[in-house]
Amino acid sequence: MSGLQVMSSGMLSLIQDLGRYGVARHGLSAGGPADLHAHCWANQLLDNPSNASVLEITMGNASFLALDDILISLTGADTNPQVDGESIATWRSFLLRKGQTLKLGYAKTGFRSYLAVAGGIDAPKVFGSSATVVRNQLGGLGVQSGRAIQKGDILPVCKTYTNDGKPFNWVPRLFIPKYSDEVSLSVIESYQSHLFSRQAKQTFYANPYQISDKSDRMGIRLQGNPVQMDLSGVISEGIAYGSIQFPSNGQPIILLNDRQTLGGYPKIGCVSRMSLMKLAQARPGSLIHFYRGDIERETEAYCEFMKFFSL
Boundaries of every domain in the chain: 3-175, 182-308
* Planar angle of CA 215, 143, 256, nearest 5 degrees: 20
Residue 83's DSSP bridge partners are: 86, 102
- pLDDT, one tens digit for every residue, the chain (311 residues): 689 999 999 999 999 999 999 999 999 999 999 999 999 999 999 999 999 999 999 999 999 999 999 999 999 999 999 999 999 999 999 999 999 999 999 999 999 999 999 999 999 999 999 999 999 999 999 766 899 999 999 999 987 766 665 678 999 999 999 999 999 999 999 999 999 999 999 999 999 999 999 999 999 999 999 998 877 668 899 999 999 999 999 999 999 999 999 999 999 999 999 999 999 999 999 999 999 999 999 999 999 999 999 99
Q: Supply φ then ψ for residue 155, to 5 degrees.
A: -90, 100
Q: What does the pLDDT read at residue 229? A: 84
Q: How many residues does the chain have?
A: 311
Residue closest to 267 by CA, chosen among 302, 240, 292, 291: 240
Q: Which CATH superfamily is domain 182-308 in?
A: Cyclophilin-like (2.40.100.10)
Beta strand 154-156 pairing with 3-8: antiparallel
Evaluated on CA atoms 129, 131, 136, 141, the torsion sign reads: positive
Residue closest to 60 by CA, chosen among 99, 100, 16, 8: 8
User: What are the angstrom distances between the C-alpha of 2 and each of 5, 8, 118, 156, 262?
Assistant: 9, 18, 12, 6, 41
Q: What does the pLDDT read at residue 296? A: 97
First to last CA, the chain: 31
Tell me the whole-structure pTM to 2 decimals. Answer: 0.95
Q: What does the pLDDT read at residue 13? A: 98
Q: What does the pLDDT read at residue 112? A: 99
Beta strand 60-66 pairing with 3-8: antiparallel
Q: What does the pLDDT read at residue 144? A: 65
